[in-house]
Amino acid sequence: MYITINGQNIELAENTTLLDIIKKQDIKTTLYAVELNMKIIPKDKFEETVLNDKDRIEIVHFVGGG
């Protein structure tokens, strides 16, 4: 199956979880949220979230200025 992460198409094995794919990302901040198909998935749900074909994932960086 194929998913899109941060605009890039990648091929994944069936039953890959969100945690599997997030672990492989080089995220340089702790202030981020993960969006799956326009929905924010809490970090403690990454492991139970199994990805499906055509899923779209985006790492959303939280900003903190005023």
Partner 1 sequence: MERYSRNIILEKIGLEGQKKLLDSKVLVAGVGGLGSYVLVNLAGLGIGNIGILDYDVIELSNLNRQFLYNPSQTGKLKTEAAKKRILKFNPDINIETFNTKLNESNYQSIIEKYDIIVDCFDSFESKFLLNDIAVKTSKTLVHGAVSEFKGQVMTVIPGSSACLRCIIPYADLNEYITKGVVSPIVSVIASIEALEVMKLIMGFDGLLTNQLLIFDALKTEFKKLTAERNTNCMVCSGEN
- List residues binding partner 1 (CB under 8 A): 29-33, 35, 38-40, 42-44, 60-66
Nearer to partner 1, 15 or 29 (CB): 29
Nearer to partner 1, 12 or 59 (CB): 59
Please name the residue that has the structure tokens 């702790």: 30
Question: Coil, strand, or helix at residue 17?
Answer: strand
The minimum distance between CB 61 and partner 1, in angstroms, equals 8
The minimum distance between CB 24 and partner 1, in angstroms, equals 19
